[in-house]
Amino acid sequence: MEVFEAIRRRRSVRQYKPERVPREVLAKIVAAGVEAPSGCNEQLRQYIIVDDPAVLDGMRAVSKALTGAPAAIVVLIEPKQTPYGPFHTQDASAAIENMLLAAVGLGYGSCWVEGQVRSHEDELRKLLAVQEPLRVWAILPVGKPAEQPERPEKPDPADITYYNRFGQT
Ligand SMILES: Cc1cc2nc3c(=O)[nH]c(=O)nc-3n(C[C@H](O)[C@H](O)[C@H](O)COP(=O)(O)O)c2cc1C
């Protein structure tokens, strides 16, 4: 799929069909995350592909967006300094967006689930056997969409874009 089409089509999907997602698809999505930019190329992110229904069930309390998802990708970060500052959050974010777009390109839906991950981090850490210093940062459910979410309101790029100086159009 052409990149602008994937960007346009991507929506946060929160309802999924139960059909299983082949591991090759999940691995391709993760590979797209690995290709993302990384501050100082420190690569402060790792991934857990979850397709065991028991483990998925254990994660569902985190968000309604995980309900019914047949698979998920958990993004882990290593909160380490680089010579230019702490970039682990940015590293994770770049990988997540790549993966969301890759999912669309492969005909799947996903959603960036991070809001309540922090408050469930201890239980997620136990469930997924994640050791310090790694942190459980975000979860991307993956599956065939069972809904087609409306495009939420977004600004017109022309209203928030300037040329050469702020305010100059
Ligand atoms: C940092 C971040 C955290 C998010 N956390 C959640 C979340 O915990 N649960 C959820 O359902 N959606 C979450 N989202 C998805 C947003 O709600 C969604 O991107 C936004 O409503 C715009 O919709 P769109 O993705 O379809 O354009 C998150 C998005 C970002 C960027």
Using CA atoms in the order 10, 119, 57, 26, what is the torsion angle rounded to 10 degrees?
40
Q: CA angle 132-136-141, nearest 5°?
A: 155
pLDDT at residue number 68: 94
Q: Which two tokens stand for residue 150?
A: 């409306």
Which of 8, 11, 12, 136 should be mutated for ligand 1, with most atoms under 8 A from CB?
12
Q: CA angle 96-97-98, nearest 5°?
A: 90
pLDDT at residue number 132: 95
Mean pLDDT of the residues in the chain: 97
Against a cut of 0.95, is the pTM above it? yes
Q: How far away, in angstroms, is 112 Cα from ligand 1 center?
A: 5
Which of 9, 62, 74, 113 should be mutated for ligand 1, with most atoms under 8 A from CB?
113
With left for phi above 0 and alpha for psi between -120 and 50, is residue 74 left, alpha or beta? beta
pLDDT at residue number 88: 95
d(CA 133, CA 62): 21
3-state SS class at 124: helix
Q: How far is CA 112 from CA 6, 81, 84, 140, in A?
A: 16, 24, 27, 5
- Residue-wise pLDDT for 42-82, tens only, equals 999 999 999 999 999 999 999 999 999 999 999 999 999 99
Q: If pLDDT is split at 50, 70 and 90, which confidence band does 135 have?
A: very high
Q: How far away, in angstroms, is 65 Cα from ligand 1 center?
A: 10
